[in-house]
Structure 1
Amino acid sequence: MSHRGRWLAGACASTVAAALLVTGGALATSPQDGPGGDSADTEVAVGAYLHYATPGVEKMQELSRWLGGTELRAGHTYLPGDTWANIEGAPDSLRSWAQWRNESADRLFVLNVPMLERNEAGVPDGEVAELLRAGARGEYDHHFRQLAERLVGLGVPDTVIVLGWEMNGFNYTHRCRPDPENWKGYWRRIVAAMRSVEGQQFRFDFAPNRGSDNIPWTTCYPGDDVVDIIGMDSYDQEPGRTFDEQVTQPYGLQHQVDFAKAHGKRISYPEWGLFRHGDNPEYMQGMLAWIAEHEPLYHSITDYCPHGVWQCSQNPRSAQVFREFLSARQGRGGPGGFGRGDFEAWPTD
């Protein structure tokens, strides 16, 4: 499902989102690298949505202290989808994120990019279908070339682009269901336009909601040549009363892992966290164990109430699990990241 309305609590809707990430990830794979690349590629970059825009960058240091000095290695933010100018990268906060990224060679910058303006305006299906057809004809290519040029100019040509996220849902104008074939064609046009810019090294992350939602996300998959990462946004909510059910449900976490392996892609979790089931340490432990086992390129917990653990005091038991696992003081989540071995001694009671 879409979460943007909750993300903007206390913030102006036209300035949408930013997120942070990160412990221990290196710059991970190139588009040609799949699962099983060199050792640095399997280190996991950890994140949390802390604040939209530039203050998100500033809060990274505070999160690092809370995690006992764990070094934060990746940053994640969103472009507002209200106007084409913002989709082209107009927000000044991009400079702050680019500066942060370029302070260390092993950092990862992740940017969610809407595919259409008025992305949260409740545009009806018929109009969405027309917009997707126009996009597939190339009418919006110039907006994405502008974005690519801006990112290259800011010194972040290797940005991970989470394009048209949660496309299998009901809410965003960039949703897939009104015309899946033209949605896929439009994605391909965007990727071609951005890759045409000299100096770019972008990686494109295809990140649906967990489950079938409004349409099975595999129906929207645009092709291996234009996707580098198979992501998934996954919250503790139905369908899936338990974490195990979230794994095994149709188009759930196991399907994502299997699909990515079959297509030679890394995985990611751009959004995840608590939700309908309250303070749920079993879910937190299950998700962290899943991440440790399957080693996504990065993951980003949504860190405000009701989803989060650091800035949300209503989830103390889940916060303890998250902090103890990722804290450098516990020997986990330090500069080398974490992997499946970190759960070998994790308590089960």
Structure 2
Amino acid sequence: MSRRRRRLVGACAGTLAAGILATGGGLTAAPRELSDRGGGREIAVGAYLHYGSPGVERMRDLSRWLRGTELRAGHTYLPGDTWSNIEGAPDSLRTWARWRTARADRLFVLNVPMQANNEAHLSDGRVAELIRAGARGERDHHFRRLAERLVALGVPDTVIVLGWEMNGFDYTHRCRPDPEGWKTYWRRVVAAMRAVEGQRFRFDFAPNRGADAIAWTRCYPGDDVVDIVGMDSYDQPPGETFEEQVSQPYGLRQQVEFARAHGKRISYPEWGLFRGGDNPAYMRAMLTWIAEHRPLYHSITDYCPHGVWQCTENPRSARVFRDFLSAEHDRGARRRPSTASGLLTPP
């Protein structure tokens, strides 16, 4: 969420990445596949581990920690600092593309900012001006260039999480300063990317859970330009309990019902722990919700304070996550119970 600290794509990327390496390294193994087969719809399990190539490398280790569970959703972000980065300049996209094309059943999930200087905390007036420039088509060429790069890299079926958390207060690509203009801008971006030959992109509309700065339904740009209705949901208010996070206005239940009414799959591009600290009850409830409602994919934000593998602050929640998603659990045969002391070492 925008009022948390931001992920590893800004000026502090190097410092945070170093911290992640210190807490998450040391495991090696080859993953084995786990499909969540119940209900006839597979759920692609993912985790945000790092925005660059180290994120790909760590997926094998996290799979090993999960006793062989295959991570089928590879999730990363394009930096929102410059238009050249939004166009897909980071060389790490090649690494992600190689990971995606190695198996036909994988998903590459890419968060794409809609504005440069996306964390500059600009005024509503300035944001409204930028939204209207985008709605006039002045940014189309940047997104066309991104689409061309993704197709050339062999990932024309990338899931594009465009303008995520648009209902929040902070991002330059937020919706509230001009909702109608924002929707027009989204539609132009999608049209520009879909115009590139060979593309098969799916566009994921992923607000924050809850009302936040504006009801996210006011930002919804239309069924013809949205393929997935996502939601970023952390263990924090609004919603002191998981039940409240489900039932609150614009919460988890409304997301599911809205998606069903519009004929869309759901997703959870970002979720994890936060204000409630190491909260195994939340972890169990969220994983159960995911299993019951069968999103296309989900991706836990796996660094402190949100995560369970690269972050050592949440050992009880880590145990729940590991047991719930491990390949042994899927087979119904947990041969070794998890212990807090063994959470960051191979079984």
- CA distance in structure 2 between the partners assigned to 1:231 and 1:16 by the alignment: 26
Structure 1 residues 294 and 74: CA distance shift in structure 2, 3 A: same
In structure 2, what is the equivalent of residue 347 of structure 1?
none
The answer (yes or no) to whether the contact 2:34–2:68 under 8 Å persists in 1 is no
- CA distance in structure 1 between the partners assigned to 2:275 and 2:66 by the alignment: 26
In structure 2, what is the equivalent of residue 343 of structure 1?
none
Structure 1 residues 211 and 136: CA distance shift in structure 2, 3 A: same
In structure 1, what is the equivalent of residue 180 of structure 2?
181
TM-score, length basis structure 1: 0.87
Residue correspondence of structure 1 range 1-349 to structure 2 within 5 A: 1-2=1-2, 5-8=5-8, 12-13=12-13, 24=34, 39=40, 42-331=41-330
Q: Which amino acid aligns with 1:330?
A: H
Q: CA deviation at 1:51?
A: 1.7
Q: Which amino acid aligns with 2:327?
A: A
Q: CA deviation at 1:49?
A: 1.7
- CA distance in structure 2 between the partners assigned to 1:225 and 1:288 by the alignment: 30
Q: CA deviation at 1:4?
A: 6.8
Q: CA deviation at 1:23?
A: 6.7
- CA distance in structure 1 between the partners assigned to 2:35 and 2:227 by the alignment: 17
The answer (yes or no) to whether the contact 1:15–1:52 under 8 Å persists in 2 is no
- CA distance in structure 2 between the partners assigned to 1:15 and 1:155 by the alignment: 31
Deviation digits for residues 44-89 of structure 1, max 9, x if unmatched? 1112221220000000110011000112212011000100000000
Give the 3-state SS of the residue equivalent to 2:183 in structure 1. helix
Q: CA deviation at 1:12?
A: 3.5
Give the 3-state SS of the residue equivalent to 1:123 in structure 2. coil
- CA distance in structure 1 between the partners assigned to 2:227 and 2:15 by the alignment: 28
In structure 2, what is the equivalent of residue 345 of structure 1?
none
Q: CA deviation at 1:331?
A: 2.4
Give the 3-state SS of the residue equivalent to 2:46 in structure 1. strand
TM-score, length basis structure 2: 0.87
The answer (yes or no) to whether the contact 1:24–1:46 under 8 Å persists in 2 is no
Deviation digits for residues 294-344 of structure 1, max 9, x if unmatched? 00000111111111111112211111110001111222699xxxxxxxxxx
Q: CA deviation at 1:123?
A: 1.3
Aligned CA RMSD, in angstroms, stands at 2.5
- CA distance in structure 1 between the partners assigned to 2:332 and 2:259 by the alignment: 24
Q: CA deviation at 1:14?
A: 9.2
- CA distance in structure 2 between the partners assigned to 1:174 and 1:303 by the alignment: 24
- CA distance in structure 2 between the partners assigned to 1:15 and 1:108 by the alignment: 28
Task: In structure 2, list runs of 5 or more residues that go unmatched.
Answer: 18-31, 334-347
The answer (yes or no) to whether the contact 1:167–1:217 under 8 Å persists in 2 is yes
Task: In structure 1, list runs of 5 or more residues that go unmatched.
Answer: 29-37, 335-349
Q: CA deviation at 1:15?
A: 11
Structure 1 residues 208 and 179: CA distance shift in structure 2, 3 A: same
- CA distance in structure 2 between the partners assigned to 1:173 and 1:332 by the alignment: 45
